């Protein structure tokens, strides 16, 4: 009986840990590598290549964020759908 309970507990742990990994992977689809940057008309922009899709998209940020995000670094865009 103890072996059965331990086995069921082990299976439950595996199933729950897989669910957490999938949720974390979805959250990481808002992240990527900075491919390019620049300044146009007061817009400090970063072009980011998505970790999941490989697509590139450009966003404007404030100067502080832009100065601390060099090309080639990893960057996550919060409150944004994966692109």
Dihedral angle sign, alpha carbons of residues 66, 68, 71, 74: negative
Q: Where are the domains of the chain?
A: 1-30, 31-75
Q: What is the pLDDT of residue 71?
A: 97
Q: What is the pLDDT of residue 26?
A: 52
The residue among 71, 64, 81, 65 whose CA lies nearest residue 29 is 81
pLDDT in tens, 17-76: 655 555 545 557 999 999 999 999 999 999 999 999 999 999 999 999 999 999 999 999
Q: What is the pLDDT of residue 79?
A: 86
Please name the residue that has the structure tokens 């759908």: 81
Q: What is the pLDDT of residue 19?
A: 53
């Amino acid at each position: 009986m103890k072996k059965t309970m331990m086995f069921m507990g082990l299976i439950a742990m595996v199933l729950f840990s897989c669910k957490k990994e999938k949720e974390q992977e979805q959250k990481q689809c808002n992240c990527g590598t900075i491919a390019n940057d620049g300044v146009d008309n007061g817009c400090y922009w970063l072009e980011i290549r998505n970790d999941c899709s490989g697509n590139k998209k450009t966003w404007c940020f404030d100067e502080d964020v832009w100065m601390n995000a060099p090309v080639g670094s990893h960057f996550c865009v919060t409150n944004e759908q994966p692109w």
